[in-house]
Amino acid sequence: MSNEHSMRRVTAIRNGTVIDHIPHGQALRVLEMLGIIGLTSVPVSLVMNVPSKKIGAKDIIKVEDRELTQGELDRLALVAPDARVAIIRAYSVAEKLTINLGDEVTNVVRCIMSNCITANLREPLPHRLKVVSKDPLELRCHYCGRPQDLDELANNVL
Amino acid sequence: MAGLITMDDLTNEEILNILDDAERLLPVAKGKMYLPLLQGRILGNLFFEPSTRTRMSFETAMKRLGGDVVNLGDVKTSSVVKGETLFDTIQMVDGYTDIIAMRHPRQGAAQYAQDSASVPILNGGDGAGHHPTQTMLDLFTIRQAHGKLDGLKVVMAGDLRYGRTVHSLSHALNRFGCELIFASPELLKMPTEIISDLNAHGAKITETEDLYSMITDADVVYMTRIQKERFSDEDEYTRCAGAYKLHADHLADVKANMIIMHPLPRVDEIDPSVDSTRHARYFEQAFNGVVARMALLCKLLGVAIPEDLEKVGGEL
């Protein structure tokens, strides 16, 4: 099945954001990480487990009337670092955004360990997670060294 | 080097050099020689949770080398109870002192302090995280007894889950090719992330609940206290407390040069009958905290220890 065909499983959007090439099964986690859960004011379309020449199978999300910010892209990098993000305006791709997962994720999420010094939110230094491995993604807190559970991290978005 | 937060901040060569320095400073630590290498320098002792040996040995180390010490004092009477952040406390003490030794109940606090400070931080324990200055004195004690660090068989027993001393020590000993045996109740096993880190670095590890059968061919038995203060559940503590109680009777078949260590304080995990055996080394170990910390203070303050101490040092 072609990519074009899989994209047509949901209708084109007039304005908003398309997130393509999400690893299959990760779309719900992406939505959680972006804070698009429960009652939202914008229409969201979701396609899961569609065939992809590049990654075998993938998920796709379309969010109408909302353009992802750089902060949201940084969060996306934690669950779908190879996703492709396009900003749609008037049914056309107006911008292609790049996700950059560097060596460190700063002030995007806070460490999952309840006894970490950063759990005191009054402490002013940045929340820093080191990227130990990109594939599979492995993060550790810069301060306490605790490996981060990616499922738990979704609850610690700043 | 900036500070000492974890043992990863030191190479094996640096560790051995610091142990050599500590060896040479023994007469100073014992009060047999006056060597004011750190005269005019001030150590800030910031202990946000209770400490006897670590705080006192840092203070002794600094004073034996002619330096001075300022203490945070009781946390209950400091600005911490008024809600001061660690960042603000460090900003203040950073201006008062040349180096800071700290202990804090939260993990990562020492790294956080180092990122906030311009002076070196010596991590004297951060929650259940790391305790590298304890590791240095432990390594000093082991090398003093066995003449080497590499290739030894070391049993660590007790609270391996929350015991920060065994976390730091196991990493260091693994780097010297020691075989590690972790004996603990199921609830207090070494954290999985530490086991996987050690395995990733080619560690030889055995995990067991049976301490007593593991000590016969050990070179070092490192006992730890089951720490009541780390348990949120009283029932869990009760189930684990008293899991091991090493008695002189257990030592009949051990190696002649095996040593028993303990970071202290002990509760009942080492029976007093062990104290008078040739294996007991925990009180010397506590003393070694002074000499190891003297060497670390010099290293972090960039003060070289003269080659010929006899010529430089004076009599007391």
Tens of pLDDT, residues B40-60: 999 999 999 988 899 999 999
Flag whether pLDDT at A157 surpasses 80.
yes
Binned at pLDDT 50, 70 and 90, residue A135 comes out as confident
B132 sits in the region (left: phi over 0; alpha: psi -120 to 50; else beta) called alpha
Q: Do B85 and A122 touch (CB under 8 A)?
A: yes
pTM for the model stands at 0.88
Phi, psi of B166 (to 5 degrees): -75, -25
Residue in the structure block whose two tokens are 């684990």: B240
Q: What is the per-residue pLDDT across A77-96, written as a single tens digit (0 to 9) for each?
A: 888 888 999 999 999 999 99
Residue of B nearest to A120 (CA): B85
- Find chain B residues with C-beta within 8 A of A143's C-beta: 107-109, 111-112, 115
A119, A125, A141 ranked by CB distance to B116: nearest: A125
SS3 call for A2: coil
Closest-CA distance of chain A to residue B100, Å:
17
> Rounded to whole angstroms, how far apart are CA atoms A97 and B80?
45
Flag whether pLDDT at A54 surpasses 90.
no
The β-bridge partners of A139 are A131
How crowded is the C-beta side of A158, counted as CA atoms within 13 Å? 17
Closest CA to A3 of A82, A60, A45, A41: A60
Average pLDDT value for chain A: 88
Strands A56-64 and A44-52 come out as antiparallel
Query: Which DSSP string corresponds to A112-141?
Result: S-TTBGGGSTT--SPPEEEEEEETTEEEEE
Residue of A nearest to B5 (CA): A143
Q: Do A116 and B87 touch (CB under 8 A)?
A: no
Closest-CA distance of chain B to residue A82, Å:
27
Binned at pLDDT 50, 70 and 90, residue B96 comes out as very high
Q: Do A142 and B105 touch (CB under 8 A)?
A: no
Flag whether pLDDT at A37 surpasses 90.
no
Task: Give the contacts of B246 (CB within 8 A, at least 6 positions apart).
Answer: B211, B221, B223, B260, B269, B270, B271, B274
Q: What is the per-residue pLDDT across B222-281, written as a single tens digit (0 to 9) for each?
A: 999 987 777 777 887 787 777 899 999 999 999 999 999 999 999 889 999 999 999 999
Active-site positions of B read 53-54, 82, 103, 131
Peptide bond into B265 cis (omega under 30): yes
pLDDT reported for residue B211: 95
Closest CA to B154 of B95, B84, B81, B203: B203
Query: Which DSSP string corresponds to B50-119?
Result: --SHHHHHHHHHHHHTT-EEEE---GGGSGGGGT--HHHHHHHHHHH-SEEEEEESSBTHHHHHHHH-SS
Q: Do A123 and B127 touch (CB under 8 A)?
A: no
pLDDT reported for residue B268: 87
Residue of B nearest to A147 (CA): B193
> Rounded to whole angstroms, how far apart are CA atoms B205 and B228?
27
Closest CA to A13 of A84, A83, A67, A72: A67
pLDDT reported for residue A4: 53
Average pLDDT value for chain B: 93
Structure tokens at A110: 């806070």
Residue of B nearest to A124 (CA): B87
Q: Do A143 and B193 touch (CB under 8 A)?
A: no
Structure tokens at A72: 């949201």
Closest CA to A51 of A63, A59, A43, A39: A59
Structure tokens at B260: 């028993």
Closest-CA distance of chain B to residue A29, Å:
24
Closest-CA distance of chain A to residue B112, Å:
6
Phi, psi of B283 (to 5 degrees): -80, -35
Q: Do A123 and B106 touch (CB under 8 A)?
A: no
Question: What ipTM, to 2 d.p.?
Answer: 0.89
pLDDT reported for residue B1: 54
Structure tokens at B56: 């006192």
Flag whether pLDDT at B28 surpasses 90.
yes
Q: Do B112 and A145 touch (CB under 8 A)?
A: no
B83, B112, B193 ranked by CB distance to A125: nearest: B112
Closest-CA distance of chain A to residue B211, Å:
28
Q: Do A117 and B85 touch (CB under 8 A)?
A: no
Q: Are B273 and B247 in contact (CB under 8 A)?
A: yes
Provide the percentage of residues in chain B whose pLDDT is more than 70.
Answer: 99
pLDDT reported for residue A1: 45
Which of A116, A144, A146 is most worth mutating to test chain B (most B CB atoms within 10 A of its CB)? A144
A117, A124, A147 ranked by CB distance to B108: nearest: A117
Q: What is the per-residue pLDDT across B174-215, written as a single tens digit (0 to 9) for each?
A: 999 999 999 999 989 999 989 999 999 999 999 999 999 999
Structure tokens at A56: 């075998």
Residue of A nearest to B112 (CA): A143
Burial of B83 (0-12, 13-18, 19+ CB in 10 A): exposed
pLDDT reported for residue B75: 77
Closest CA to B60 of B51, B69, B47: B69
Closest CA to A55 of A28, A82, A74: A82
Q: Do B193 and A125 touch (CB under 8 A)?
A: no
Q: What is the per-residue pLDDT across A87-131, written as a single tens digit (0 to 9) for each?
A: 999 999 999 998 888 899 999 999 999 999 999 989 999 999 999
- Taking an 8 Å Cβ-Cβ cutoff, which residues of chain A contact chain B? 111, 113, 115-120, 122-125, 141-147
Closest CA to A134 of A70, A59, A81: A81
Mean pLDDT of A132-145: 92
Mean pLDDT of B158-176: 94
Structure tokens at B189: 């096993």
Which of A107, A115, A142 is most worth mutating to test chain B (most B CB atoms within 10 A of its CB)? A115
Sign of CA dihedral B126, B128, B130, B132: positive
Whole-Å CA distances, A12 to A6, A90, A153: 12, 10, 32
Q: What is the per-residue pLDDT across A60-76, written as a single tens digit (0 to 9) for each?
A: 999 999 998 888 888 89
> Rounded to whole angstroms, how far apart are CA atoms B280 and B278?
6
SS3 call for B275: coil
Q: What letter does residue B304 receive in the DSSP assignment?
A: P
Q: Are A20 and A54 in contact (CB under 8 A)?
A: no
Mean pLDDT of B276-301: 97
Task: Give the contacts of B208 (CB within 8 A, at least 6 positions apart).
Answer: B181, B182, B183, B214
H or E stretch at B188: none
